[in-house]
Amino acid sequence: MIPIAPIFIRSKEVLEKLSALLDEERFAYGESDSDTIINIAEQKQALLDEMNQLNEKRVNILIKFDVVDRKKPTEEEFKHWLNLQDSSLDNVRLLMNECETLLQVCKTKNNTNARVLNTLQKRNKHLFELLQGHNSKNKVYTSRGSTHPISSKHTLGRA
């Protein structure tokens, strides 16, 4: 029997932690808590690194047992092989499905957080331009085609 169940068990644990971190990240965005946001980003990176290592380990095991092609291993190849196996690998099938579901949840949460962050960045940029006295109507094009605000003599910083 191929020893991949422990890899899926650990992957599931990592994905559950990642999902919880993404919830914390969204809350931190709402609170504008930059220290927490930076801390969460570091934790997310560590979890993603571990997921990559687990995936590499899983692929190497599957290659070792000739389940997938050595030169170009694919997920579909593994899933096809898994579907052909008897019920002794039902636990692996279940774990794999749970991991795929958790991965989709994490992707959705991450995309939501990215949209929240993008909105916050736009808001902060706008507020910064207001503080500098830039008016969104007073912009000129640069030689590269982007816009550049024209400074006003009536800035809040000069008041």
State the DSSP H helix or E strand holding residue 132, giving kind and residue range, or none if neither.
helix 90-132
Q: What is the pLDDT along the chain (159 residues), one digit of tens a residue?
A: 789 999 999 999 999 999 999 999 999 999 988 999 999 999 999 999 999 999 999 999 999 999 899 899 999 999 999 999 888 889 999 999 999 999 999 999 999 999 999 998 898 888 887 787 766 666 666 777 776 666 555 555 554
Domains of the chain (ranges, CATH numbers): 5-122 (1.20.58.300)
Within 8 A by CB and 6+ apart from 158, the residues are 133
Show the tokens assigned to 81: 């092989």
Q: What pLDDT, on a 0 to 100 scale, did the predictor assign at position 158?
A: 52
- Over its C-alpha atoms, the chain yields an Rg (Å, rounded) of 24
Q: What is the DSSP letter of 37?
A: H
pLDDT (tens digit per residue) in 130-139: 787 766 666 6
- pTM, two decimals, is 0.79
